[in-house]
Structure 1
Amino acid sequence: MQTQTEQQAEKNWLAELDVEARALVAAVDAQPDGRRLLDGTLDVKGYIHYLVQTYHYARWSTPILAEGGYRLRRLGRHPELAELLVQKGEEERGHDKWLLSDLKNLGVPAELVEAAERSPAVEAYTGWNFFTSLSGVPTAVLGTAYALEYLSQTRAGVWAERLKAAALIPNIHKSVTFLRSHGALDGDHVAEMQRILSKLTDPEDQEAILFSARVARSVFPRIFREGGVSRPPPAR
């Protein structure tokens, strides 16, 4: 049976995780294109940029999450968390195809999406999460997953509806599959993660999860165009 001190420590670290998730939402809202997404006035170039960069991290979600789960299994640690990571990897499978479909409906073929330059934020995001999954503390990827699913729960569906309502982007009603689907799915995912993470008492795992949530909060908002305009191509 948990002591009062242990119960308080559990509440404190989960409260910190929620603080990071809410801070991510605020940081995204503070980006110029994030604000435009929220009020439905994002232009087609900004929306395409967002979807392309999202594709270049979402395509790796399944292997990142699954590898973290497999590694926990090999280490013989946290079997429920290991299964959660593998399950979440499967849940993310095919979401990159939603993005390719949305982009195709905006006139951007898959070959152009594949060839597009990845932003430094996407490189940092995928690099960090592959490191934690393969070589760091494997439970850390749950911090990233929690923060992004919280963002999806509070913003993705709203973005989709407001973009459609404003109708400033041609064919937008056929180009919000990724946003609409994530907004519908991730509410249940957040509640499930809260339930499972509430059982985690290892301080190293708790801190690793919190640290990854902080990384997501710092890095993810930078996938939008810098200052709301496209960056020039790098000098050759």
Structure 2
Amino acid sequence: MSPSAVASLRLELSLVRPVLWAATARMWRADSGLPGRYRRYLCAMHQVIRASVPLMERAATRCEALPRDPVARPLARYLRAHAEEERGHDDWLLTDAEATGTPPEKLTGTVPPAHVAALVGAQYYWIEHSHPVALLGYIAVLEGNAPAPGLAGRLARETGLPPAAFETVRLHADLDDGHSADLDRLIERLPLDAAQRSLVAVSALHTVASLAELFDRITAAPTEWESTDD
């Protein structure tokens, strides 16, 4: 018997997730550069997360244009509900940035670098030109790699920044485990064909690689973000 869609996806992700974990560890290492990296992280994640609701809404709209597709209706229902759960999370990051002394307009006014556009933009391409189910791979990675419990407190201690600057990290550590479980149940219920399962996996693997690159660029303080530090 072939493995379930969730089991297959988790197995494939287990082979590449150490790359993401290593990039995350480098970004959060305790040294004098951590406050600046955290500010760059807030900017980068705002650029990523402000696309979450529009991505889900666009994918749901595409699903609703596929009335004969057995995957489309339950997928659209999940995406509409999840979009409401995620609405406003980009504003949390603006509030956190302000607590670090970074004006919110520094985040909203920064041109997103190409690697951020590549991380998010691939999803638009697959939604429009393949199948909106691709977005499940992206969501699986982002919510399956939630901040560790206790990270917000550790970062506050090690950066010297106020605890109010870490609310998004704290809240996502609490919320994303439940969201991941909901996503697993959905993937198990959906009648995915072989091509759709492959698309979800390709999307997830791309997301891991792109997110690891993003974290490494934050760590390396690339020139396109140097202006975000005070």
Contact 2:40 2:218 in 1 (8 A): no
> Normalised by the size of structure 2, how large is the TM-score?
0.86
How big is the shift at 1:163? 1.3
What is the one-letter code of the residue matched to 2:47?
H
- 1:94 maps to 2:85: no
Residue number among 163, 167, 175 corresponding to 1:173 in the alignment: 163
Contact 2:63 2:132 in 1 (8 A): yes
Contact 2:35 2:161 in 1 (8 A): no
How big is the shift at 1:14? 2.0
Shifted more, 104-113 versus 17-26: the winner is 17-26
1:190-231 deviations in Å (ceiling 9; x for gaps): 111111111233112111111100110110112225383211
Contact 1:28 1:221 in 2 (8 A): yes
Distance 1:159 1:121 in 2: 25
5 Å-filtered alignment, 1:1-236, equals 5=1, 8-9=2-3, 11=4, 13-23=5-15, 25-31=17-23, 34-36=24-26, 43-76=34-67, 77=69, 78=71, 79-152=73-146, 155-164=147-156, 167-200=157-190, 201-226=192-217, 228-233=219-224
Aligned partner of 2:228 in structure 1 is: none
How big is the shift at 1:26? 2.1
Q: What are the ranges of 5 or more consecutive residues in structure 2 without an aligned counterpart?
A: 226-230
Contact 1:225 1:231 in 2 (8 A): no
Q: What are the ranges of 5 or more consecutive residues in structure 1 without an aligned counterpart?
A: none
How big is the shift at 1:38? 5.1
After superposition, the CA RMSD in angstroms is 2.2
> Normalised by the size of structure 1, how large is the TM-score?
0.84
How big is the shift at 1:116? 2.3
Residues 1:127 and 1:225: Cα distance change in structure 2 (over 3 Å): same
How big is the shift at 1:156? 4.3
Contact 1:52 1:113 in 2 (8 A): yes
What is the one-letter code of the residue matched to 2:94?
L
